[in-house]
Amino acid sequence: MKKIKKKVSIKTRILASILGLLVIIFLGIIFSFNNLVNTYIEKNSNSELRKATSLVEHFDKSLIPAKPLKEKPIPKEFENYEHEKNEFPEFMKGVLEKVRMAEMNSNAEAMVIDSNYNLEFPTREDDFLKNIDEYENILNQIKDQKINLHSNENFKISTTSGKYYASILKIESIESKESKEENYLILFIDISSTLNLANQINTVLIAVMAIAGILAIITAIILSNKIAKPIQQLCGFAKNIGKGDFSKSEFDFSDRELDELCQIMNKSVQYLDKYDKEQKIFFQNASHELRTPLMSIKGYAEAIKYNVIDKDSASEIILEESNRLSDMVEELLYISKIDNITKDYNLIDCDMREILSNCTLKQKARAMSKGIEFKYDFDEDEVMLNCDEKSMHRAFLNIIENALRYANSQIIIGCKSLDENIIIYIEDDGEGINDGDLNHVFDRFYKGNKGKNGIGLSIVKSIIEKHNGNVYAQNTDLGAKFTVCISKEKSN
């Protein structure tokens, strides 16, 4: 069973498209921004940490500030041991000098811990200006995360108060190489302010996205209504056409495409209205023309029945009227096919001289019986046209039959190729066309002097016009002349 695809309105499609585009754009902006911020923080922090580490590793005592640093008091447990008494202050003095130098020449802060994660420096007694609580929080996080103190990689760490990039550097004094005590310098950079700024910008971007989304919804509604309303009007117009109402629409759309569609529909309405009227007139005239031979046949049949007229003469008239009726029906059927708006033509390249020659060949016996001669005025080269061969043959055959009806002794048939057009003419030496009939010879069911059914020449006009050509009649010094002009470009 074929699944029925759910239809979506233009308003919904436009709204979803605009909102989807906005979401993609803003997500891309937020992702790109945060990615750039994180990259910047990482690169800048690593750079500062490398700078601070380099200062510590390549510490030059000549850079020690002139003002001596305050020595850390010697613990009481070391007072009885002279070695420790002299070593501890000297060792810590070197460490403190490195810490101070790293903090002065970079954005990093530093602290010293031992291998048991105890904070050696700074302490509350050493530096009351620093936030020792935060230092301890950082140290606790390092301990909880079991960060390797011998690692050379920078790492990221978070506390309840902030976020940091940090690195660890093992330190020892020259004087205490034999000591088993290990100390580590932790350098860290506070990135909380930068991250807070990024979060604030993200909040602003989300707010902007929300506002843009609201504006997009309003814009989409207005735009979709502006598009949907004209389409609904055109749908109503099309429904009226389907019901047989061929009134021209008076819509004036501001959008060029919709206005062009409306104009095209108006032209289609005019064509359909014309076609409908022509069909009505055609059937009215056809019924009238068919009624005449039928009434004649009926009258003579009744006369035979009641012995009012001689059977032989009546039969001859009935046969003649039957043939006329048969020809008329055939022509009516053919002209109805021509008028079919969905008729397809089998277009092929044909030599028009050959088509004209075949037409005269079919009428040669009739022409000879009337003492009429065909004369040709053809180009020596091929006169090729992309056309429907059968239809074109029928058109020229009708003109030649008409010429045979009026010609006295000759019919001249010409076929010329001139620039972008093909000119074909058929001229007889008859009495010509009455001035009053000249403008109506191609009208349907119009019969002039010696006219047969009033259909033949109308068929000619329909066929030639279907091939993007024109046909017209005129009187010359010789007689009546029919001229056909067709463009060499392929017919649509």
Cα distances (angstroms) measured from residue 209 to each of 18, 21, 25, 27: 12, 11, 9, 9
Q: 453 phi and psi, to 5 degrees? A: -120, -15
Residue-level pLDDT, tens digit, the chain, 492 residues: 556 667 777 778 888 888 888 889 888 988 898 889 888 888 888 888 888 887 777 765 444 444 444 444 544 443 443 444 344 445 555 666 767 766 777 778 888 888 888 888 777 776 556 788 888 888 888 888 888 888 888 888 888 888 898 988 887 654 444 455 678 888 888 888 888 888 898 899 889 888 988 888 888 888 888 888 888 888 888 888 888 888 888 888 877 888 888 889 888 888 888 877 777 776 766 676 677 678 888 888 888 887 777 777 778 888 877 877 777 777 777 766 666 655 567 889 999 999 999 999 988 988 999 999 999 999 989 999 999 898 899 899 989 988 998 899 999 999 999 888 999 999 999 888 888 888 888 887 666 666 566 677 888 888 898 888 999 999 988 999 999 999 887 654
The answer to whether residues 238 and 265 touch, using CB atoms and an 8 Å cutoff, is yes
Integer Cα distance of 60 and 155 in angstroms? 27
Tokens 């990093």 correspond to 108
SS (H, E, C) 102-136: HHHHCCCEEEEEECCCCEEECCCCCCCCCCHHHHH
Beta bridge partners of 473: 482
Amino acid 83: pLDDT: 41
Amino acid 483: pLDDT: 94
DSSP string, 78-98: GTT-HHHHHHHHHHHHHHHHH
Cα distances (angstroms) measured from residue 319 to each of 323, 324, 326, 453, 455: 6, 9, 10, 17, 21
Amino acid 88: pLDDT: 41
Domains of the chain: 59-190 (no CATH), 256-339 (1.10.287.130), 347-487 (3.30.565.10)
Q: Report the chain's terminal Cα–Cα distance, integer Å.
A: 40
Amino acid 352: pLDDT: 93
Integer Cα distance of 422 and 118 in angstroms? 108
* Structure token pair of residue 382: 């091929």
The answer to whether residues 168 and 184 touch, using CB atoms and an 8 Å cutoff, is yes
DSSP string, 417-440: EETTEEEEEEEE-SS---TTTTTT
Amino acid 416: pLDDT: 93
Pairing of strands 163-171, 109-114: unpaired
Beta bridge partners of 171: 183
**Amino acid identity, position 455:** I
The answer to whether residues 452 and 373 touch, using CB atoms and an 8 Å cutoff, is no
Integer Cα distance of 325 and 292 in angstroms? 9
